[in-house]
Chain A
Amino acid sequence: AAGVIQSPRHLIKEKRETATLKCYPIPRHDTVYWYQQGPGQDPQFLISFYEKMQSDKGSIPDRFSAQQFSDYHSELNMSSLELGDSALYFCASRLAERYEQYFGPGTRLTVT
């Protein structure tokens, strides 16, 4: 079965640079979530989209923005990167009429 695809899988950036993370949901899934997981931490919700509209917002810094496109893929844009942004970033998708979320493999972002 098709799963959530994320790219890139690994990303190394320097402080103050920008990064763009991409997420391709499971086919027919219309809702996308972004989570951030720091070392030894549980995943923290950042932002979500349903039918290309932002549906909810969590602890996402103002330096970050995201959108969902007409093909339902989503991009997380991160600017003015800080050392503390180093983490695993997961995208999850679901069908709106179901509650189960399925996670992608994640992007490991390292800021040096």
Chain B
Amino acid sequence: QKEVEQNSGPLSVPEGAIASLNCTYSDRGSQSFFWYRQYSGKSPELIMSIYSNGDKEDGRFTAQLNKASQYVSLLIRDSQPSDSATYLCAVNFHAGGTSYGKLTFGQGTILTVHP
């Protein structure tokens, strides 16, 4: 079982709809959570970071974290065709109180926004 799990999709939503992406992680000691967007053949682009329980909003993006349920999600409002990409959930595990910052990624969710 992977340490970070995502639905691989593909997730298809119509333009203007809300896209909901989910991620679960196995290590309760995890402290830092990130969402990256990756277009085919390109590098991961950081779109959201979240560190405490609750919601964090940035423009059309909202990240939600629930540490008790070991669950993090990303909502994309007013989805646009340009949002079509693979969305990677990444977690920074802290082992024994020490974190050197390496990221562990989920397998990614492919999002398609159709006009």
Binding site for B on A (CB under 8 A): 31, 33, 35, 41-45, 48, 50, 55-56, 58, 88, 90, 92, 94, 99-106, 108
- Kindly identify which residue among B31, B41, B103, B106 contacts A101, using a CB–CB cutoff of 8 Å: B103
Q: Give chain A's interface secondary structure class.
A: strand
A92 to B105, CA, bound (A): 14
- Counted as pairs of residues, one from A and one from B, with CB atoms less than 8 Å apart, the total is 60
Q: Which B residues fall within an 8 A CB radius of A?
A: 31-32, 34, 36, 41-46, 49, 51, 88, 92, 100-108
- 5 A–B contacts, CB within 8 A, in A order: A41-B107, A42-B105, A56-B101, A88-B43, A106-B43
Residue in A closest to B99 when the chains form the complex, CB atoms: A99
Bound complex: CA A36 to CA B55 (Å): 31
How far, in angstroms, from A93 to B49 measured CA to CA in the complex?
Answer: 15
Contact among A31, A55, A90 with B43 in the assembled complex (CB-CB below 8 Å): A90
